[in-house]
Structure 1
Amino acid sequence: MEMVACDAFPLLESLILHNLINMERICIDLLKVESFNELKNIEAYNCDKLSNIFWLSTTKCLPRLERIAVINCSKMKEIFAIGEEVDNAIEKIEFAQLRSLSLGNLPEVTSFCREVETPSASPNRQVSQEESTTMYSSSEITLDIATLLFNDKVALPNLEALEISEINVDKIWHYNQIPAAVFPRFQNLTRLIAWRCHKLKYIFSASMIGSLKQLQHLEVWFCENLQEIISENRADQVIPYFVFPQLTTLILQNLPKLRCLYPGKHTSELPALEILVVYRCDKLKIFAADLSQNNENDQLGIPAQQLPLPLEKELSLSGKDVKMILKADFPQHLFGSLKQLEILGDDSTCFPIWNVLERFHNIEILSLFNFSSHEELFSMEGCLEKHVGKLAMIKALELRWHYHLKQLCKQDSKLGPIFQYLEILKVYDCQSLLILLPSSSVSFRNLTKLLAVGCKGLMHLVTSSTAKTLVQLVTVNIYGCRAMTEVVINDKDGVEKEEIVFRKLKTLELLDLDSLTSFCSANYTFKFPSLEDLFVIGCPKMNFFTTGESITPPRVNVWYGETSNQRRWASNDLNTTIQQLHAEKLLAGSSSYSMDYD
C-alpha cells in the first residue's frame, strides 16, 4: 500500500473540518510518521461519510497532537486506525501529548483506536482506493470487544479532559491489572463528562481507581442503563478502598438505574468534595445513615460520619434526598459550612421550607426548582418564634417552575428575619404569581438585584409601600411577563405628592412586556439619582413612563433595541422620551430573548 508523502503538511498545526458531508477519507493511504508532524489540534464536525480521521502507519504518528474534537460524524467507526505488518505486533498505542478529547454523537464508533492488519506491499506498488477499502473492511483485526472505547493497548498519559456523548460503547476502559507505574495510561485525567451513552453500565473498572488521583470533575447525565460508577472486581478477596483525593465536583443526573458507587463491600473517601449534584437517580440513596450501611447496593456510599467536611460550596439534591436528610438523625454540624443549596422538586417535595433553613442553617444561596404543587413556599406562621436564631439567613433566592405559586409570602407575614439579608431575588416561570413583592411587614431593604422572567400571570412587580423600602436596589430585570401592566402598583388611597426614591438603581430592563402601559400610573414622584440605562424593548402599549414626575440624572440611555444605535438620550425627562418612542412605534418590536419565554 502506498504511503502518504513523508513531507505532507509538515508544519500544519491545526486541522479543522466542518460540514464536509461527502468526504470519505482525509488521506487515502496510510499516514507515515513524518506527515502532519506538527499537528496539535484536530476538529471534525458534521462530516457524515468520514469513517476515521487517519489511518496511521505506526504508533509514532502525530507526536505533538494535543486536542481532538469529533462531533456529529454519523459514519465514523473509530478515530484512528493503525496498520502494521503482521509480524510486527503493537504493544502500546500512545498519544503522549493529547490533553483534551471530545467525542459526540458518533453512533457507529466502537473504538478510539483500532489496529488493522495490512498486507506487505512493494514500495513501487500502488493500491487502488477500491482495494484499500476492501482490505480495510475484510482484514480488520480488533484487539478487544467491539464496543470498548479504549482497548488495553491505548495509553493517553497526559489526557486531562475527556467528554463523550451519544456513543454506543459498552465500556469506556479496558479492565487492566497492570500497575499504573508500569503502564501509565490515564493518570492525569482531571475532568470526565459522559452524556447519553445508553449502553454504559459503569464508568470505571475497580482496578483503575488508583490511577485517578488527579480527577477533579466527574459528570454523568442521561445514561439510562448505568448501574454503578465503579464495576465490581469479583476476583479480589480484599474489601476495596476507593479514594478520589482531588475530586471537587460530582454531578449525577437522570440515571434511572444507578444504584451505587460500587456494588460490593467497600470503603470510599471524597475528601475534597465541594459540589455534589444528584437528581433523578431514583434508585440511589445519597448518604448512609451509619457506617454499617456503607456496603448496601442502593447507596452512593458516603456515610454521614465520613462525609468530607466542610462541604463548602454547593449541594444539589432531589426532594426525595432532602426529605431523607431532614428525617435522618444526622449531626447538626454536618452541613454547617455549606453555602449553596439547590432542591429539585419531585413527588417527595412536601416538607416545610423552614425545616430546610434550620438543617442547612448557614446557606447563603437557596434555589428551589419545580415545586409544582405549592401555592405558597414560605409558610411559617406559628413556627418562626420557636426557630428564631436557628434558621439560615439567605442572601440569594432563586425560584423556577413553580407553576401554582401564588405568593412569595402573605400580606401580614412575619418572615422578616428570613428575608432581611436577601440581596438577590430571581423568579422564573412562576405562572400563577400575580405580584412578586406585595405589601407586608417583611423588609427587603438589602435587595440589590431583582429578576422576573417568563411569569405569564405576573401583573405587578411590587407595591408602592414595599418599593419605598428597596433602598439598595441596583438592577431590575423584567423579561417576558406578558400580563404585567405596571411595575409599581399603588396600594394607598389619596396619594398626594409622595416620593419613591430608588437611590442606587443603575439599570432597569423592561423586555417583552406585551401589556405594560407604564412604570407606575399613580401620582408619585419617582427619583432615580443613579440611573444610567433604561431598556424598553417589546413594550408596544407603553406610552408614558409615570403619571407623576420622574427625576433622573442629566443623561440616561433609553434603549429601544439591542444594538448600539438603538437608543435615545433622556435629559431628566423619561416621559417625553417614552412618548416619542411610542409615537414612532419603536417600542413594538421584541428582544432576542422573546422566544425563550414561550
Structure 2
Amino acid sequence: MAVPLKKLRLKDLPKLKNVLSNNQSQGAINLASSLCHQNQIEEIIARQEEEDNEDTEIIFSKLELLELHGLPRLKRFCSQNYTFKFPLLQSVTITECPRLTAFCSGAIHAPQLQNVRVTSEYGESHIDIWMTDLNATIQHRFTIQEVISTTKSMALNAKNITMIRDVFPEVRTLYVESFTDEGVTFPYSFLERFPKLDKLYVEHSSFGEIFPSQDEILDFMGKIPLVEKLHIAYLDQLKSIWKDASQLPPIHQDLIKSLEVESCHSLVKLAPSSASFQNLWKLSISGCHQLVYLVTSSTAKSLVSLLGLKINDCKKMEEIVLNENNEDVEGGITFNQLRRIKLTDMPSLKMFSSQSQTFEFPELKVIELTGCLEMKMFCPGVLETPELSRVKIEEHEMKWKDKGDLNKTIEMLSSVKV
C-alpha cells in the first residue's frame, strides 16, 4: 500500500513544466505542498494525454496548506475543467506569480479555507484577500489598492487590460502576453502606468511590431519608462521590434542591457541601422528563421559593452554583421568587452562578416560553433583576437597557449568536421 505523501517541496528544477497528472494527484498530498522558484512550471496538475473526459473530480483529502512562490510562468493550478475538493485546506499563499490570473477552470470546494494571501513578495506584510471564492480572489487582486501599491511583477493580457485603471508604482517586471486578435497592436501607452518598469517580457501574441517610431509618440516622450531587460518570444506575426520608418533613432534601445528574442519566425530585422546599443551586455537570439543578418556595421560599432553573444537555430542567417554600404568602416569595428561567442544550428551561416573590414576583439576568449557547416572562415578582413584561447567546432576543440590565427583554425577544424 502506498504511503500518503505528507509534504512536497520542489526547488531548482528549471525545466519542470508541471508537477502531477490528475491520477497521481488524487489524495496524494497529505499535509502541505510548497513550490518555490520553478521557472518553467505553467500548471500544477496536468491532463493525461489519453484522457478524453475533463469532467473529473480530484480530491486532496489531507492538504491543509498550499504555498506557491516565485513561479513566473504559472498560469493556472490546472487548466482543465476538473472539480477540485480540498476538505481540510485552511490556508493558501501566492507570492510572485504574476501570470496566475485564475486558480482553475472547474469548481472548487474548500469548506475549511480561512486565509488566502495574494502578495507581491514573500516576507512583506501580507495583504489578505478573501471573498469565499479562490478564483475570484486571484482575479480581484489587481483591483485592490493595497496590492497595486506593493506588487513588483504583473501580467498584462487582452482580458485584464480592460480592467486596469490605476498606476502601479512598484512594478518592475511586466509580462505582456496573449494578445492574439488579428491586427492587434502593442499596448504601448499602457507602459506609462508602470513608472519603475525595468524588465519587459512580450510573449505569445500577434503583434507586428513592438515599439512605434518617435514621430508617432511625441506625447509620450519622457513618460514611458526605459527598460533594461527586453525578452520577446513566440510572436509569430512580429516583423520588427522597432519601427523603421523614422529619421530619428529608435526609442527604447539605448539603455537596454539584456535583449533576448526567441521563436519569432517572421522577424526580418532585429533593429534599424540607426539603432545604438551602447549599454547592451547580453544578446541572445534563437528560432528567428527570417533573419539573414544580425546587425548592420553601424549598429555593431555601438556594441561596446557586449559581454556575450549567443545565436541559435536561425536557419537563414548568412552573417552576423552586415556592411550595408559595402565600404570599409572607418576605424574598423571593436567589440571592447565581448568574451564569448556561441553559434548553434546555423546551416546558412558562412562568416561572421563577409566584408573585408577590421574586427578587433580585445577580450574574446571562447568561440563555439555547432551545426554551422557552411562556415569555413571568420571574416576576410583584418582580425585581432589577442586573448582568444579556445575554439570549438562541433566536437573538435583547439586551445591556444600563444596567439593563434582564428581564420586558419576555423578552416582547419571545419575540414575535419563529421
TM-score w.r.t. the length of structure 2 is: 0.76
Q: Deviations over 1:101-147 (max 9, x none)?
A: 89xxxxxxxxxxxxxxxxxxxxxxxxxxxxxxxxxxxxxxxxxxxxx
Query: How big is the shift at 1:411?
Result: 3.3
Q: Deviations over 1:454-496 (max 9, x none)?
A: 2111110000001001110010011111111110000225326
Secondary structure at the aligned position of 2:210 is classed as coil
Indicate which of 1, 4, 8 corresponds to 1:100: 8
| Structure 1 partner of 2:45 | 194
| Structure 2 partner of 1:547 | 380
Indicate which of 19, 23, 27 corresponds to 1:167: 23
For 1:579, give the aligned amino acid.
E
Structure with higher RCO (Cα < 8 A, 6+ apart): 2
Task: For 2:115 and 2:9, locate their aligned partners in 1 and report how far apart those are by CA, in whole Å.
Answer: 28
Secondary structure at the aligned position of 1:483 is classed as coil
| Structure 1 partner of 2:140 | 302
Q: Is the aligned partner of 1:577 residue 2:392?
A: no
Note the 1:54-453 alignment, pairs <5 A. Answer: 79-80=2-3, 98-100=6-8, 163-167=19-23, 186=31, 189-191=33-35, 193-196=44-47, 198=54, 211-212=64-65, 215-217=67-69, 220-226=76-82, 244=92, 246-250=93-97, 258=105, 270=117, 272-274=119-121, 300-303=138-141, 304-308=143-147, 310-317=149-156, 319-325=157-163, 328-329=164-165, 331-332=166-167, 335-348=168-181, 350-372=184-206, 374-413=207-246, 414=248, 416-440=250-274, 442-453=275-286
Secondary structure at the aligned position of 1:397 is classed as strand
Task: For 2:147 and 2:109, locate their aligned partners in 1 and report how far apart those are by CA, in whole Å.
Answer: 18
- Mapped contact 1:474–1:506 kept (Cα < 8 A): yes
Task: For 1:393 and 1:420, locate their aligned partners in 2 and report how far apart those are by CA, in whole Å.
Answer: 9
Query: How big is the shift at 1:520?
Result: 0.7
Change beyond 3 A, Cα 1:453–1:482: same
Between 412-421 and 363-372, the greater mean CA deviation after superposition: 412-421
| Structure 1 partner of 2:51 | none
Task: For 2:296 and 2:373, locate their aligned partners in 1 and report how far apart those are by CA, in whole Å.
Answer: 23
For 1:505, give the aligned amino acid.
L
Change beyond 3 A, Cα 1:191–1:263: closer
For 2:287, give the aligned amino acid.
G
Secondary structure at the aligned position of 2:231 is classed as strand
Secondary structure at the aligned position of 2:284 is classed as strand
Indicate which of 394, 397, 416 corresponds to 1:561: 394
Task: For 1:301 and 1:228, locate their aligned partners in 2 and report how far apart those are by CA, in whole Å.
Answer: 18
Query: How big is the shift at 1:416?
Result: 4.5
For 1:356, give the aligned amino acid.
F
Task: For 1:541 and 1:375, locate their aligned partners in 2 and report how far apart those are by CA, in whole Å.
Answer: 32
Task: For 1:420 and 1:496, locate their aligned partners in 2 and report how far apart those are by CA, in whole Å.
Answer: 21
- Superposition CA RMSD, Å: 4.0
For 2:67, give the aligned amino acid.
L
Task: For 1:500 and 1:169, locate their aligned partners in 2 and report how far apart those are by CA, in whole Å.
Answer: 58
Task: For 2:358 and 2:25, locate their aligned partners in 1 and report how far apart those are by CA, in whole Å.
Answer: 67
| Structure 2 partner of 1:236 | none
Change beyond 3 A, Cα 1:267–1:512: same
Q: Deviations over 1:81-119 (max 9, x none)?
A: xxxxxxxxxxxxx98xx54389xxxxxxxxxxxxxxxxx
Segments of 5+ residues of structure 1 without an aligned counterpart are 1-51, 53-78, 81-93, 103-161, 174-184, 234-241, 276-290, 590-598
- Mapped contact 1:224–1:256 kept (Cα < 8 A): no
Query: How big is the shift at 1:407?
Result: 1.7
Change beyond 3 A, Cα 1:458–1:500: same
Change beyond 3 A, Cα 1:314–1:375: same
Task: For 2:109 and 2:162, locate their aligned partners in 1 and report how far apart those are by CA, in whole Å.
Answer: 21
Change beyond 3 A, Cα 1:566–1:341: same
Task: For 1:478 and 1:296, locate their aligned partners in 2 and report how far apart those are by CA, in whole Å.
Answer: 43
For 1:166, give the aligned amino acid.
N
Note the 1:398-547 alignment, pairs <5 A. Answer: 398-413=231-246, 414=248, 416-440=250-274, 442-495=275-328, 498-547=331-380
Query: How big is the shift at 1:361?
Result: 2.9
For 1:324, give the aligned amino acid.
T
Between 189-198 and 452-461, the greater mean CA deviation after superposition: 189-198
- Mapped contact 2:198–2:226 kept (Cα < 8 A): yes
Segments of 5+ residues of structure 2 without an aligned counterpart are 11-17, 37-43, 49-53, 123-128
Task: For 1:551 and 1:229, locate their aligned partners in 2 and report how far apart those are by CA, in whole Å.
Answer: 66
Change beyond 3 A, Cα 1:474–1:357: same
For 1:491, give the aligned amino acid.
E
For 1:544, give the aligned amino acid.
M
- Mapped contact 1:222–1:255 kept (Cα < 8 A): no
Report the identity percentage.
26
Task: For 1:361 and 1:254, locate their aligned partners in 2 and report how far apart those are by CA, in whole Å.
Answer: 23
Secondary structure at the aligned position of 1:465 is classed as helix
Task: For 2:22 and 2:84, locate their aligned partners in 1 and report how far apart those are by CA, in whole Å.
Answer: 19
Task: For 2:330 and 2:67, locate their aligned partners in 1 and report how far apart those are by CA, in whole Å.
Answer: 63
